[in-house]
A and B are shown apart, each in its own frame.
Chain A
Amino acid sequence: MAPSDERTGWRARLTSPTATALFALCFVLLIGLIFSGDGAFYKWSTHRDALRQASVYGILACGMTFVIITAGIDLSVGSVLALVAVAFSILSIHKDWSPWLTIPACVAIGAACGATSGAVIAKLRIQPFIVTLAMMVFARGLAKTISGGMKVSTAMQRPDGSWTAAPVPDIFKAIDSRLLGDNISVVSLIFIACIIVSWIILARLRWGRYLYAIGGNEEAARLSGVPVVAMKILAYSLAGAFSAVAGLCQAAQEQQGDPEAGIGYELTAIAIVVIGGTNLMGGRGGIGLTLLGTLTIGYLDKILSVNAVPEASRLMLTGVIIIVAVLLQRRKD
């Protein structure tokens, strides 16, 4: 152990997780400046779209951050996203519920899924991987059940068998719109709001401190009076609630509720958190890192697509980047 205070040494600062995550993002941006896709990278609209496309993943990653800080994992976020997208579409398109009722109900559905996982994990002491894998399958099945296995869209069948299109609900249009002179998507603003809320919980509330303590040393936390069971349920409920928010955005963007939506999103969310530098062993990390991770993944994808790199190659490259980023993040102590 170095005797010097690790927060003041410049060398320590350069190797801190934030610095490393920032370095990775700058590296990706530098690639974008060089391979700009015939100048597309120099247009604001490219950045706006990159941010919009990364936002749904970023919202999921916010929720995932809480869980990973407690040394857990949540594989169900993609399925919960689909469940909420379906529920949101049914309530908004077919039931004509007011958004003031629909949105809280949808967030509650997500939080309930997470609370269920959290309660089983903390009370029955089953591994998070198993429990959330089960919830992933269960929520997907529930989404297919309530949607009848089909996409819930504005297309409606009349009693005589012919098809008509219901109007797209205003709340869908609102979420899918852009603000500030067409310069930023509402979905991106929702993502930024999620980041702020997560930051408050993790850095300003006692709950956040307890989540770090549980991830750092669960037994020491318990012996210090930390309500471990309640805090784990809280972490998974937050992950569920953020998945629900992502589901709302997904439904609005697609103008439908697709029970097959969000397959594999949980892995992207985990990748974002890990690339940011939050430790899968728990106890370390933060929401700022998740923001940097979201931007890194989002820009990487955008830069490869403006350069017309085929999707197959993009996937392989992303795999390589994840390993490189984690190697850079590895602490030297």
Chain B
Amino acid sequence: MYTMQAVAGPTQTDTPLFAMTGICKTFGVQQVLRDVAFDLRAGEVHVLAGENGAGKSTLMRILGGIILADHGHSHVNGSEVLFRNPRDAANSGVAIIHQELSLVGPMSVADNLFLGHESSTAGWLHQTGTAQRTRDVLSRVSLRIDPRRAVDSLPISSQQLVEIAKALALDAQIIVMDEPTSALSEPEVRNLFARIADLKSQGCGIIYITHRLEEIYTIADRISVLRDGALVATRDRSDLPPDELVRLMVGRSISDQAPRRTVTCNDLRLRVQHCTVRATRAGVPPIVSDVSFDVRRGEILGVVGLEGSGVSELLWATFGALANRATSEITIDGQRIRINSPRDAIDAGIALVTNDRKRTGLILGMDIVQNATLAALPQLSPFTWLNHSAETSLASQSTQQLSLRAASMRQHVSTLSGGNQQKVVLAKWMGTNPRVLLLDDPTRGVDVGAKHEIYLLMNQWSEQGRSIVFSSSEWPELLQVSDRIIVMHRGRIVASFEGGAATPADLLRAAMGSTRDE
């Protein structure tokens, strides 16, 4: 490491600090990375851009040694390396700073910096030497704090700098930052950018992942665009204007056409006004700030936003699931209602399909019937006595309408495929006969066939007069299914489009916070 530091200065750019070539990765049948070539020079910020699911995080996990590529080569300073595990990557000077920080909260800053690499003799820690090194690395990130403080007593922005200092303590040269500003306030972002400039001058290379156009054009030296697992361009910032960047990010072919239907929308069904969701931390702008929207009877409203834009939180708040952090005024069919809990929402005829069925949708240890009737149980069990035959008939009725494929209704949901699990979640909500369906990325992690079925079902439900608020990470399909689309950026609605009148590029431009109008 030290010899490398001696030769690789900030000015030397002919041998890249790091290079990957021919990287391929397949998960099951899905190829997520195709022949990717990527390099990082010393002293540059290289932004990696791409839509949700373009393959950025997979590429970074390969770089960090968390997963192995199927094919491809990696070079650090011109010599070939193979990262079998995170430790290999760390030893070659790679540090990944995740959105979820990997510090041990109750331990002190100093202990965190050298965790796993403590300087010791026969188990006895070198106290004085460590204190000196701690001061050195903290000064490199301009963090003036007492290194004896517990990490979890520091604000997130300082914790992030501790994480960077930890990387420096291990002589990291290749630093990956994954959406580092998502939880920061404006002044904290400015401070982080100043620290990134320091790192550049110290000869580090930084791979920076963000969804914010403004940030890309503030700090990038070069920009690479990933699309559907392929690297479509690597250019200097000056050679890649924002419009061109957006075009490169979305320009994909739509493989499976979602069905288009014509429904005449009429009466107002759901009106959400002044919805605000506070962040869990003080001093950070709200996750959703003063958002209002309407949905008509039988209408499918698409809601679009990149990660961290507040789309999920908007849907959760409408469902009463963030009662202690959210405020809003909700009117359904002309009636003003108070929603303080999911139960209130269910009673008002609202259903929420979350974007993570294993964590927040299903009880995996229960069978299909028990999952499919959970939300409708009060109607099925007067005086709290369970009526097993009523349960089974409701469950089979709602799962048949969704053409769920299972060996038995008593099968545990943990043994079902992703698509069928999602149908159990949908069946649970259709069993409550909802007026409004809030669907947060309902096709995530399901196969193409099940995806198509879910779109057909959504059309069917809207024809029955149900209203649907729908978010998806697959925008071409969302554009096909939705009657109207609203776009969120940093907790606000920044644009709205009539269905069919927008292109994925329009959505992306708005979602990345571009203020330019077309």
Interface on A for B, CB 8 Å cutoff? 1-8, 204-210, 212-213, 216-217, 219-227, 283-284, 333
Contacts and interface: CB of A to CB of B under 8 A. Distances in A.
Contact of A217 (B362, B381, B407, B415): B362
Nearest to B366: A216
Contacts of B410: 5, 7
Contact of A222 (B321, B378, B381): B321
A217 B346 contact: no
Nearest to B373: A209
Contact of B364 (A207, A216, A219): A216
Interface residues of B, number: 34
Interface in B333-387: 341-343, 345-346, 352, 354, 359-366, 370, 374-375, 377-378, 381, 384-386
Contact of B386 (A206, A219, A221): A206
5 contacts: A2-B415, A5-B408, A6-B412, A224-B346, A225-B343
B414 interface: yes
A231 B386 CA distance: 16
B193 to A, nearest CB: 36
A163 B504 CA distance: 94
A213 B374 contact: yes
B350 to A, nearest CB: 11
B386 A216 contact: no
Nearest to A212: B366
B393 interface: no
A54 B507 CA distance: 68
A206 B363 contact: no
Contacts of A212: 363, 365-366, 370
Given A5-B408, A223-B342, A223-B354, A206 B362 contact: no
Contacts of B342: 222-225
B386 A5 contact: no
Contact of A219 (B319, B360, B411, B412): B360
Contacts of A204: 385-386
Interface in B390-413: 407-408, 410-412
A220 B346 contact: no
A116 to B, nearest CB: 23
Given A2-B415, A3-B415, A213-B363, A224 B375 contact: yes
B227 interface: no
A204 B374 CA distance: 14
Nearest to A205: B384
Contacts of B41: none
A3 B341 CA distance: 37
Contacts of B385: 204-206
A204 B410 CA distance: 17
Contacts of B319: 223
A226 B374 contact: yes
B269 interface: no
B415 A219 contact: no
Contacts of B211: none
B428 interface: yes
A220 B375 CA distance: 10
A1 B412 CA distance: 11
Contacts of B370: 209, 212-213
A6 B360 contact: no
A150 to B, nearest CB: 43
Nearest to A283: B365
Contacts of B411: 5-7
Given A206-B384, A225-B346, A283 B363 contact: yes
A221 to B, nearest CB: 7
Contacts of A210: 377
A217 B342 CA distance: 15
Contact of A223 (B352, B366, B378, B407): B352
A209 B352 CA distance: 21
Contacts of B345: 225
B365 A223 contact: no
A206 B378 contact: yes
A210 B343 CA distance: 13
B415 A205 contact: no
Nearest to B407: A5
B444 to A, nearest CB: 16
A4 to B, nearest CB: 8
Contact of A206 (B341, B352, B381): B381
A220 B321 contact: no
B414 A1 contact: yes
A187 B360 CA distance: 44
Given A2-B415, A204-B385, A216-B365, A221 B408 contact: no
Nearest to B380: A206
A217 B363 contact: yes
Contacts of A224: 342, 346, 374-375, 428
B363 A221 contact: yes
Contacts of A284: 365
Contacts of B341: 225
A221 B363 CA distance: 8
A248 B360 CA distance: 42
Nearest to B353: A223
Nearest to A200: B385
A183 B198 CA distance: 86
Residue of B354, B360, B361, B410 with most partner-chain A CB within 10 A = B360
Highest count of chain A CB atoms <10 Å: which of B342, B345, B361: B342
A223 to B, nearest CB: 5
A207 B407 CA distance: 28
CB-CB nearest 8 A-B residue pairs = A216-B363, A206-B381, A225-B343, A224-B374, A224-B375, A225-B346, A206-B384, A216-B365
Contacts of B374: 209, 213, 221, 224-226
